[in-house]
Amino acid sequence: MAQGRVLVVAATHGNERNAPWLLEQWRQQPELLRSNGVELQLEIGNPEALALNRRYLDRDLNRSFAPELLADASRQEREILRARALLAAHGPGGSTPCSVALDLHSTTSAMGNSLVVYGRRPADLALAAGIQARLGLPVYLHEADPAQTGFLVERWPCGLVIEVGPVPQGLVSASICRQTQLALEAALDTLAAAATGCLRLPRGLSVHLHGGSVDLPRRPDGSPAAALHPLRQHRDWIPLAAGDPLFWRADGRSQGFDSAGQRYPLARWPVFINEAAYGEKGIALSLTRRERLCCEIAWAEALSAQLQRRGAPL
């Protein structure tokens, strides 16, 4: 049976160095990665940024895949050029087309081993459910945030982010590498099952739905007037109660979590707490609400269909 090729991207952010370290090991010794017969295309997302150990050069590559940016010939930032090149090579209509993209990231937040899914495409939900059934990983379902768009995996028919932390930027941590590989192998195992039409999904998929993001308190000049409260550090996925300390001022005063004052009152589960790269985006943490979706047979069928239509324009 023809099987769709799977794109595995490391170093979409050049200072997240665990996945590219793994990629180099797999290139040297392909037998180290249990691919379950899935044909892989291994790619460094942003080689120039990786060489400089910087997240990006001109703009965040993982916010550069919005169709309107890609189509605008006047946009010539290096990351937009790179996004176009990745699509021309390995996009669904590219020269070596891939039908699934797995984008390997790390974070300074204590996200553990986790998945990020963008929107509710059936094939993505099938893949996430398959991985969750194998490893129990939490899923951050990111949708409907006009301030955060243009993610890489959205331009492939199916794809998700494997997000592992906490680990500093610029650092290789063996335990982060091992978790990354574990999640990737669970994804490939799921894809191999889907390719043969044998993927059995669990009854439900637990997701954390994106509500919104919260910035630090700031002074009129824009400088931060507080830091994240030490009781919040490394407490991703643990729900907040009203009044829980959220921010900390240098004079020792705390500012509590005001659920009633939030625009997303049901969103109490924090994620990406104190991610170093999100300071510039004005995000101290994001808030999610927890839901359980019933898995649908149509999800698995959608994923199988992608993997069996190798190379066809999608």
Footprint of a second copy on this chain (CB under 8 A)? 21-22, 24-26, 28-29, 32, 53-54, 108, 166-175, 177-178, 219, 223-224, 227-230, 233, 248-251, 274, 276-277, 279-280
Our CB check for a second copy shows the closer of 54 and 310 to be 54
Strand partners, 245: 256
- Tell me the closest approach of the beta carbon of residue 112 to a second copy, in angstroms: 15
- Tell me the closest approach of the beta carbon of residue 58 to a second copy, in angstroms: 13
Distance CA 273, CA 285 (A): 4
Our CB check for a second copy shows the closer of 32 and 85 to be 32
- Tell me the closest approach of the beta carbon of residue 277 to a second copy, in angstroms: 7
Our CB check for a second copy shows the closer of 108 and 114 to be 108
Element (H, E) at 248: strand 245-248
Distance CA 138, CA 162 (A): 10
Q: Dihedral through CA 261, CA 267, CA 271, CA 276, nearest 10? A: -30
Angle at 124 between CA 120 and CA 130, to 5 degrees: 125
Report residue 286: phi and psi, to 5°: -115, 155
- Tell me the closest approach of the beta carbon of residue 121 to a second copy, in angstroms: 32
Q: Looking up tokens 């955060």, which residue turns up?
A: 148
Our CB check for a second copy shows the closer of 200 and 253 to be 253
Our CB check for a second copy shows the closer of 177 and 267 to be 177
- Tell me the closest approach of the beta carbon of residue 46 to a second copy, in angstroms: 16
Cβ–Cβ < 8 Å for 161, 100: no
Cβ–Cβ < 8 Å for 32, 43: no
